[in-house]
Amino acid sequence: MKGRVVMTLFLFFYTSILLMNLIQELSDTDFNDLGKLLLGGFAVAVAFAIAFTFVRLRLRDSKPSASTFLSITDLQNKERIERTRS
């Protein structure tokens, strides 16, 4: 499962690097356009955060975590307890 998460994060990271590179190549922006770019970047960041949270919740719901209960009773004692109960 960790490999899939790392690959997904790498995919998102790589796409964000490509988008930043594309924005940086737009060199003919003046001061008025910077506000639009900042607002657009914020909107993209919020959309990315919502999508990432949705995907993580969907993955968590599709595969419930295993029980973290750890029994400290040894096997012989457990068998003896089960015999006395029946």
Q: Which two tokens stand for residue 51?
A: 């999508």
Report how far residue 80's alpha carbon sits from residue 71's, in angstroms, rounded to the nearest whole number: 15
Question: Domain locations in the chain?
Answer: 2-62
What predicted TM-score, i.e. pTM, was given to this entire model?
0.42
Report how far residue 11's alpha carbon sits from residue 44's, in angstroms, rounded to the nearest whole number: 16
Alpha-carbon Rg for the chain, nearest whole angstrom, is: 26
Tell me which DSSP letter residue 69 carries. -
- For range 3-7, the mean pLDDT: 75
Q: Which two tokens stand for residue 33?
A: 């356009």
pLDDT tens-digit readout, 46-59: 999 999 998 888 87
For residue 47, what pLDDT is reported? 93
What does the mean pLDDT of the chain come to? 76
